[in-house]
Amino acid sequence: MPVAKDAKIQPWQTGVKTTLLHSATDKLSTANDWCRWRDYTVANTYSSWQDEYEAIRRHVAISDLTPSPHYRVTGLGASDYLDHLVTRDLSSLSVGATMMTPFCDGHGHVIDMMRVERLDDHLFEIYTTASHTAWFMRARDGFDEVEIEDITGEEAVIGLYGLGSCATLLLAGAENAEKLDPNRVADFQIRKSDTFVTRHRALGELAYTVRVSAKDALVVWRQLLRMGKPIGLKPAGYEARNVARVEAGYVEFGQDYIGAHAALHGSRPRTPIELGWEHLIDFHKDYFNGKRALKALRDQTPRTRLVGLDIEGAIVPQMARVEVDGELVGTVTSAVWSPTLKRVLGLATVSPEIAKLDNQVSIASPYVSELEPQTLIQSAVVCERPFYVDPARNALTGGGTP
């Protein structure tokens, strides 16, 4: 039955979309293992997560990141508008630079993390984890000259990770890509196609994202694949990236915390302080959303803390409790087996008194054995994160932008 254009589309009436690169990624998938990222289908694994992880850590990996929510913000007041939303000071963000920053509601609870790219004085492109179009529009009150456009999926976004990522760009034709410093963005030509390349620190590795128009998306993707293959390039799906993400100690929306707009209970949202993001709050700013609440909280003991865990054994806990002497003190939010460090690593939300380094805790995981419910108990130690960072991630070239 056709739906009128002005009718409200119900969730069950919405099909899962494919990205601009799906025809190419589909041919690369031997595992036929797919997952849903927002409204899109993307590869969970292409072959095996172990091989793809090895490419990230030892060679170079390529990923389709097109479903990441993507907005263009323009207009005379664009800088002030964004600066009012985020906890960091955007006045220091020069043209050609990028910055990661949380943004909060009026209670100081994290809505999401945002990557901001400044492409011109009044032109910004931002990426988030979840879609926040309606909230961005409401927050535009008082900034009448600012235009916000949701361009998610209209351009292809390609991720490159690992020591060979810069070499892949150079081999593909991106001249002087080696001069791009961390947190900088510049335009390059790849196979006569215009691209924007951002160097960042994703997954604890030397890493880049390549943004390219729909008409040139497959040309650029295939060129990167072809040029990177001799140096070990492989496509990497969500599962391999997630293992590398936990090793790098990165916190993920919907996994390690619930965004303020997504939480159904008032105790569930987290502040930047609780997530360990105190260094991403610039209290000297005249104003940002949630500043008053966060100023009141910064000298108080937080309700919870997000910590790293080193967990004994080789079993990765699922849906696990953090306990001390049998009492619940927290929850494991992410856990993986680290092929590089050869141990189980985790992130957990715990009560503040448990969050001290080297504290001993127990991890209790439910499982079923011979149709009977059981509980697996593993010892763990609170430890620093990140667990792993490659030195190349932060290497400076002195070039800034080419």
Angle at which helices 238-247 and 49-58 cross, to 10°: 50
Question: What is the per-residue DSSP string for 131-181?
Answer: --HHHHHHTTTT-TT-EEEE-TTTEEEEEEESTTHHHHHHHHT-TTGGGPP
The number of helix segments (H) and strand segments (E) in the chain equals 8, 20
CATH of 304-383, picked from 2.40.50.100, 2.40.30.110, 3.30.530.20, 3.40.50.720, is 2.40.30.110
- Whether the bond between 386 and the residue before it is cis, its omega within 30 degrees of 0, is yes
Q: 204 near 247, Cβ under 8 Å? A: yes
Supply the mean pLDDT for the chain: 93
Structure tokens at 28: 């690369």
Q: How far is CA 275 from the centre of its chain?
A: 14
Percent of the chain with pLDDT over 90: 90
CA distance 148 to 71: 7
Question: What are the structure tokens assigned to 381, written together?
Answer: 């130690």
Architecture of domain 11-66+153-236 in CATH?
Answer: 2-Layer Sandwich (3.30)
Tell which residue, 164, 266, 148, has the closest CA to residue 205.
164
Alpha helices per DSSP H over 48-132? 49-58, 78-85
- Rounded to an integer, what distance in angstroms lies between the CA atom of residue 92 and that of residue 183? 13
What count of residues does the chain have? Answer: 402
Average pLDDT (305-325) is 96
Q: Which of 354, 275, 366, 274 is nearest to 321 (CA)?
A: 366
Residue 351's SS3 state is: coil
Sign of the four-CA dihedral 112, 113, 119, 121? positive
What pLDDT does residue 4 have?
43
Decide: helix, strand or coil at residue 395. Answer: coil
- Model pLDDT for residues 205-225, shown as the tens digit of each residue: 999 999 999 999 999 999 999
Token readout for 120 is 């011109």
pLDDT in tens, 114-170: 999 999 999 999 999 999 999 999 999 999 999 999 999 999 999 999 999 999 999
Contact 113, 129 (CB under 8 A): yes
- In tens, the pLDDT along 22-58 reads 999 999 999 999 999 988 999 999 999 999 999 999 9
| Ramachandran category for residue 107: left, alpha or beta (phi over 0 → left; psi -120 to 50 → alpha) | alpha
Asked whether 238 and 245 are in contact (CB, 8 A), the reply is no
- Which of 108-112, 174-178, 284-288, 398-402 shows the lowest per-residue confidence on average (mean pLDDT)? 398-402
| pTM, to two decimals | 0.92
Q: What is the structure's pLDDT at 3?
A: 40
Specify the pLDDT at position 183. 95
56, 242 in Cβ contact below 8 A?
no
What does the alpha-carbon distance between residue 281 and residue 296 come to, in Å, rounded to a whole number? 13
Domain 69-143+271-301 fold is Alpha-Beta Plaits (3.30.70)
- Residues with Cβ within 8 Å of residue 352, at least 6 apart in sequence: 301, 302, 303, 304, 305
Q: Where are the domains of the chain?
A: 11-66+153-236, 69-143+271-301, 304-383
For residue 316, the 8-state DSSP code is P
Model pLDDT, residue 371? 92
Phi, psi at 120, each rounded to 5° = -160, 175
β-strand 40-45 against 360-369: which pairing, if any? unpaired
Confidence (pLDDT) at 67: 96
Spatial distance between the Cα atoms of 117 and 267, rounded to a whole number of angstroms:
32
Tell the residue number behind the tokens 């990661």, with chain if given.
100
User: What does the pLDDT read at residue 30?
Assistant: 96
Q: What's the confidence (pLDDT) of residue 38? A: 87
